[in-house]
Chains A and B, each alone.
Chain A
């Protein structure tokens, strides 16, 4: 027997059905009873929907498969259950009707939402996709729903930014491939949405104009997880090919909930979790102060625990949804409220989501209209920096010399300055990169507020059964307002004598419209499905960022625009548009052989002033699937056997203006002359891919196996090369290079136990990806992601190397590999930057489990990553200051040992190899880690108890935990946390906010 629903779903469905059955009291005629069992194993099936057709009169079977329904004689009662064939009975004289449901290969006919919202039979797909249901995302909620995908899919790497709740997430599907954009496209109900991050840390020190390493948050994190019905990930370019220029990095297709005709429900869920910091640096407590370091004498010192600086964070997400399935109109309404208190004092987030969706059919159900409005308001107070040296309280906190009294600096983080009549920062060692931690949390304040509205409307006209035309339009609007206030006496490199003020207004708009005509017809053994359409995608950004640095404010600690001497301006007023024509066709033969063809031509406004302007770019794909199990006789235990292959060519859009660069104006009336030669021959990045796979469902679908091999080759990277001094320009562009990703993905789904009251579903997601930089450009020895100058961490790409190579300084070694020492016996640093690490994992493996036992549900997710490296600049810095446990232990032992070589001058050793510009090789760690990513224990209140309440139709109480602990981790921080979700600064910890463990509970009620 097939059961794919867990208790939670059954409970939900039960609640819905019960709601429908309200009012059944006045029913007359015949009451029939019976038991519904599975034809497969004869076991009763709970949760089967039993509905009198054409009415809302219905019920569901109880835990023992029993039902009772009263209906007029002659009426038809339908029994439906997912995974089973529907069964109808006509009410007659019999009052006891036992029903035997046949398993249905429903999976095989299951419909999947693909590119542009086009629904296709799952078995006809010629490429790999992976679907994650809404309940998987809300079982153990993360305020950013995309984080809940971690470990649940193969080939999709989810890394969250370390700035905490409201921060952005880096989603990498099948490896990074571009020096430009590597983020997938997000599509809600067929329509692209905004997901750009307006600011991410730019250097090891901080962000724009040496502000803090701010992460401005992304677009996907704004959504309410409870509104999501399912997420389908189009991993490869072949799956996404219909998106053409936007398809190179895969597409995340989100389907949201809507009202369903004939079903009404109210549900409420409350999720509260407590976040505590984990993986703080290990510090020593024995050696005291020496100057600003802890290289002093050994003594009996008070224990220093930086953990006290952090507080327990609390995040609660309360959401209410009302779904009404009227005859003529169905509505779905939801409201969610998220409040989060951060682990850093005075930081927190508050978010409101309001969602209304209405669907209706007109003109004899020929025309359907679907409208949706989604309003979001989010404000974040004092969002901590994601890391970096500037404005980061952790630098001072961790470096603080042992034996000195930190609490004095906590209570008196500022002291009265009679000269200025203001409170001045109080810290033993004020530097640009190190200031009083409490000063930074109290006297460097920020707030960002986001208002967002996503509205869309779809009108579909079913001209005939075989032919329909659909028009969609949407408008996505984001308005961000960010203010950053730095008080006077913050270090002068970062603020003027009177402080510093940054104000940043950013408005993004996305207007999207498409028209799509679908045709669908069977001609004997041949089935034909085709869609053609056109779309316009128009995005606009208007932003102004004003910053007083390097100038000053007129009056100290007054933060408004009039009080600024504007030292730095960024202004943007940009519009880009893509116009596209596309078509797709699928020809099926006997429902077991499918040929899929897509084509799309994009005209992007970024191609204006180039030779490609009128032709645009064409992106084709072709795929073939054979359902072997239907073609040839197979043993009974094979439910599905399928092979598939696809080839595609897709693009990655270009930055604006590079074909037409202009001079720009800087502060003080300076006109900055454009220094880059215009590029009139540019092409978008081109990714060609092949993908081969096979799927097998065995033993009554209790074993499901999906294997995919892929290879993508990305060419035409847009490189900026240094122009010679005499050319009149500083830079010029070329399209060049080739980056290859090759890998395999394996998904294995098991149902080891499928008993009536005991059900265990388990799935494994395995992915490995190998990245290779096949070619750069003859004039480009390597591509540099950032400047190595101020810290010996440098991410760059060399021909023959791979994306994610990190360069740094190594020990100078002789031919035998022995570290060369100087006169004082200390290691000599290599003179050149050398490759020290690569961030790419060897493979990722996730193991996701759900176990239902009677009314209990237990789930856990073990997420692991094997291989790859990370660099800890935090450890390097703290070693230099002599505050880490490593340095204490070494002093106790009297030496440091590296590769068998002993260095007895412990202080000298760490003073020279530690720090920002030390020997980074020593601070490379294996990024392998295995963690308990999620665990939940839930209890569904039994029906008998619910009935007594006369209020609830369903109730689930669960204890939830995220990121609970590591089974294994050798790095001194969480290697999956990111400083930046951009391309640079990967695989490095620079005083990042510590990872958090969250524990809490979730209550879900259905009325």
Chain B
């Protein structure tokens, strides 16, 4: 089946000249370079954040940038920016449902105590593990 079938969905690409083709490729390449730069920032950020002791910096660079990278891939590589809008809403909705799942479950699983309950086993395990780590000292960080 020829590529003609696809053009029902992406009218934007019909009847192009060479110049337009090159422009599209330049866009993809630009997005790719941007992704690489962001990636480098997202790995150096946590290193710097660790050195200055700023958790916020670590989170923003590691995860904030992850969100930006994901957006770039979704919008420009997956062409969600020219897709029907409800497809984007569908995907966002599933992400929101995952947030809902997190909100409903974290009070039980992430927390180890709440109103009238205590998760003794989990608390003991956390205590034991942290103690074991601090007893081992710096020896544990020779990973790479």
Q: Do A and B come from one complex?
A: no
A interface residue numbers (CB < 8 A to B)? none
B interface residue numbers (CB < 8 A to A)? none
